[in-house]
Amino acid sequence: MELQKEIKHEELSFIERDVCNLVAKVKRMLGDDDVKRLLEYMKLAKQENNMFQYAYTMDDERRLEHLFWCQAQSFELYQRYGDIVVFDTTYKVNSYDMPCGIFVGVDNHGKTILFGCALLCNEKHLRLEAIAIGLPTTKHNYCIWHITSKFSCWFPTLHRKTYQD
């Protein structure tokens, strides 16, 4: 929108209603069958290449709960370089408020490679139970960057009275 209106970056004014209108417009364009179309794509990809992997769960109301997929070449790379796997759920798919998890590793040239992706309804459920089942020899570690990036939010709240003027 900034480019269309020839406005400098971060100087575009909009209100919450503008964002709601945009989301509604996108939903109208996609229709109500976006999950159905996604699952049809996954099924077709599996038919075209048997190495393509996907799995999903639905809740009691037949809504998508969790979805995992892995491209055929990614599955082969995991077989070769899957001794170290990083699972990151930093990003959320905002229109559904679902964390998007990625499984990545490093090849023998030091390049990051994608092993698979997941859309999650409940991130903690996947981390604790599914990873323990699917990757039983996994050692879990926490990223120091993610921990320290939260400090600025934690300390003002926890120590507000201590450090107030």
pLDDT averages per 10-residue partition of the chain, 165 residues = 68 72 78 83 95 91 89 89 82 73 89 90 63 70 70 60 54
pTM to 2 decimal places: 0.62
Q: Pick the closest to residue 98 from 78, 126, 79, 70 (CA basis).
A: 126
Q: Is residue 151 domain-resident?
A: yes
Q: Is residue 3 domain-resident?
A: no
E strands present in the chain: 53-58, 64-70, 86-93, 98-106, 112-120
Parent domain of 125: 32-158
Residue 71 has what pLDDT? 92
Residue 44 has what pLDDT? 96
Q: Pick the closest to residue 23 from 93, 105, 70, 84 (CA basis).
A: 93
Residue 70 has what pLDDT? 93
Q: Is residue 26 domain-resident?
A: no
Residue 159 has what pLDDT? 54
Residue 114 has what pLDDT? 93
- Largest alpha-carbon pair distance within the chain? 66
Distance CA 153, CA 142 (A): 18
Q: Is residue 42 domain-resident?
A: yes
Residue 23 has what pLDDT? 77
Q: Is residue 165 domain-resident?
A: no
Q: Is residue 119 domain-resident?
A: yes
Domain count, the chain: 1
Distance CA 77, CA 112 (A): 11
Q: Is residue 8 domain-resident?
A: no
Q: Is residue 4 domain-resident?
A: no
Structure tokens at 97: 């408020």
